């Protein structure tokens, strides 16, 4: 990877090699989500990569905010009660939540959180332990 600095604008130009099909897919998706400038799309992708990996490997005491997204089976016995109790136990980091009925067999819970990485990871793990959880995803921004 090469780079050259443009000191006037604070921009660094880089050159990278990518498989043609990867670049084609990137450009297609970038246009679909509204990017008209490849550089801006690459910047957004790099920021997302950094944020995701800081969450996974960063300091446990880092502070930030984010969203815990749960997809679960509402027919699982006492699942709503269990999820609510867990959120109450983490009231110091849960700022709000929204429950969405997707269909007869699927509900989505969106939980907004703010606090330290350690506490948010503990909350996500406690939620994930429940029978009936189909998927859990954490989107977290270190601030």
What is the predicted pLDDT for the residue at 10? 86
pLDDT tens across the length of the chain (143 residues)? 555 555 456 889 999 999 999 999 999 999 999 999 999 999 999 988 887 777 767 677 788 899 999 999 999 999 999 999 999 999 999 999 999 999 999 999 999 999 998 999 999 999 999 999 999 999 888 78
Domains of the chain, each with CATH number or no CATH: 18-57 (1.10.1220.10), 63-142 (3.30.70.1150)
d(CA 61, CA 115) in angstroms, rounded, equals: 9
What is the predicted pLDDT for the residue at 1? 52
Contact by Cβ (8 Å): 62, 54: yes
User: CB-based burial of residue 99 (10 Å sphere; 0-12 exposed, 13-18 middle, 19+ buried)?
Assistant: middle
Q: Quote the strand ranges of the chain, DSSP E.
A: 2-6, 11-15, 63-72, 94-103, 106-116, 133-142
């Amino acid at each position: 990877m090469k780079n050259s600095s443009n000191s006037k604008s604070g921009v660094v130009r880089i050159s990278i090699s990518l498989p043609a099909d990867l670049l084609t897919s990137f450009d297609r998706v970038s246009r679909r989500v509204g990017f008209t400038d490849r550089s801006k799309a690459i910047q957004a992708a790099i920021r997302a990569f950094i944020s995701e990996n800081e969450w996974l490997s960063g300091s446990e005491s880092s502070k930030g905010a984010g969203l815990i997204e749960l997809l679960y089976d509402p027919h699982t016995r006492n699942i709503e009660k269990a999820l609510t109790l867990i959120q109450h136990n983490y009231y110091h980091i849960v700022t709000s939540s929204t429950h969405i009925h997707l269909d007869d067999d699927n509900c989505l819970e969106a939980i907004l959180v703010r606090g330290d990485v350690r506490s948010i990871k503990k909350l996500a793990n406690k939620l994930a332990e429940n029978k009936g959880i189909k998927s859990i995803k954490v989107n977290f921004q270190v601030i």
